[in-house]
Amino acid sequence: MSMAGRASASLSRRLRQRIREQGPVSAGVFISEALFDPREGFYATKDPIGAGEDFITAPEVSQMFGELIGLWLAQAWQRLGAPRPVQLIELGPGRGTMMKDILRAARAVPGFAKALNVTLVEISPALITVQAQSLDQAPCPVHWRATLQQAPKGPGLILGNEFLDCLPVRQLVRQGGNWHERLVDCGPDGGFCFVLDPVPAPASVQALIPPALREAQDGALVEVRPAIATLAEHLAERFAAAPGLALFIDYGPAQSEPGDSLQAIRAHQKVDPLAAPGSADLTTRVDFAELARIARNAGLQVFGPVPQGQWLKALGLEYRAADLMRKHPEQKARLARQVHRLSDAGEMGTLFKAIAIAAPGTPAPDGFAP
């Protein structure tokens, strides 16, 4: 705890220095530095994921999550014509838990595990160490890359759970009929504060505003995520060259909405996003309508988004739970809690959504049937 406090105090000093020299930075720059500064970033230096840590994700809630995704992937692989090898690429794999559960389920499908070549796209050295431990018994080769662009080409299945929500956003505020970027400046007492750029944002940044929000009323705040376009272009290129399918699961609305969604979580509590950069997870909700629109504009086909609860139930969450309860009656209450957590509306069931992206003409994957 004192280590983290000391570390982020120094990151704060360096950020303030940079702002004094170069002027206020975009929210995206602040987020990147807070999460991925190589020395003191929240992800770069420690493993924050799990019940006793800072936040918990679906794969850490239950092994059923990764197992169902493993069987979903096996289906998808068969529909692609069962290519061998097939690249299985996970973006932001965290502790490696989901991949471990995927590979356990994959072994049950003849030929699938043996066909897999796994690449984990991760930039946190601390989490790479944890992933390597989680996957030391993997039934197939496992490699690490810093970006999706560096992953092997060829037929591919691409996944990301709670990956898109940590890609940095920029925030724009409508004022006097114009859009101004909300920036982070030095505040009093060694802290930070938000300021509005007095100059309207350049056309290239305004072009990222979702069409439905371009004429929002004065005072509205809109978040844009520049990395989504790069991701969509890369997927379009990949899937034009070789068959493939991408699956993203994350939290956010199905329709574009204005509003500041930047949130900081430390030890399962919401904290001030600008206080002590490097000491809390910073995420923003994913605009699924915008993700779908950008992917379609890149020439891709989009399935969903479908609420996570509905999607997991279509994949057989309740059957899998009943099966495990029969085998381990003493675990019944725990498994019921996990199903509730993953799929109920008040929990992760509706806020979280699954979306699949593929080349045009690809048949609907499981759980995405119209």
Amino acid 67 reads E
Question: How many residues would you count in the chain?
Answer: 370
240: nearest Cα among 298, 297, 193 = 298
Secondary structure (DSSP) of 266-329 = ETTEEE-TTSSTTSSEEE----HHHHHHHHHHTT-EEEEEEEHHHHHHHTTHHHHHHHHHHH-G
- The answer to whether 111 and 76 have CB atoms below 8 angstroms apart is no
Nearest distance in Å: CB 305, ligand SAH = 17
Could you tell me if 105 and 74 are in contact, meaning their C-beta atoms sit under 8 angstroms apart?
yes
Q: For residue 85, is the peptide bond before it cis, meaning its omega torsion is within 30 degrees of 0?
A: yes
Pick the closer one to ligand SAH by CB: 119 or 362.
Answer: 119
Nearer CB in complex with ligand SAH: 93/243:
93
* Least distance between ligand SAH and beta carbon 163 (Å): 5
Q: How many C-beta neighbours within 10 Å does residue 20 have?
A: 10
Interface with ligand SAH by CB under 6 A: which residues? Answer: 43, 49, 57, 59-60, 92-94, 98, 121-124, 127, 161-163, 166
For ligand SAH, give the closer residue by CB, 98 or 103. 98
Question: What is the smallest separation between the CB atom of 270 and ligand SAH, expressed in angstroms?
Answer: 17
- CB closer to ligand SAH, 56 vs 220: 56
Of 120 and 292, the one with the shorter C-beta distance to ligand SAH is 120
What is the residue type of 38? P
* Residue 107 C-beta: closest distance to ligand SAH, Å: 21
Distance from CA of residue 319 to its chain's centroid? 27
Q: Which is nearer to ligand SAH, 54 or 287 (CB)?
A: 54
Position with the least CB separation from ligand SAH:
92
| Rounded least distance, CB 330 to ligand SAH, Å | 26
- Please say which residue, 98 or 173, places its beta carbon nearer to ligand SAH: 98
CA distances from residue 156 to 10, 136, 152, 190, 301 in whole angstroms, order as listed: 41, 22, 9, 47, 16
Nearer to ligand SAH, 170 or 180 (CB): 170
CB-CB contact of 56 with 49 (8 Å): yes
Cβ 327 to ligand SAH, closest distance in Å?
25
Query: What's at 243, amino acid-wise?
Result: P
In the complex, least distance from residue 275 CB atom to ligand SAH, rounded to whole angstroms: 21
Q: Write the DSSP symbol of residue 345.
A: I
Instruction: Supply the minimum distance, in Å, between the C-beta of residue 122 and ligand SAH.
Output: 5
Tokens of 186: 């030095």
Cis omega (within 30 of 0) on the bond before 363? no
CB of residue 258 vs ligand SAH: minimum separation in angstroms? 24
Which CB sits closer to ligand SAH, 181 or 250?
250
Using an 8 Å Cβ cutoff, are 36 and 71 in contact? no
CA distance 68 to 313: 10
Structure-token pair, residue 230 = 């790069």
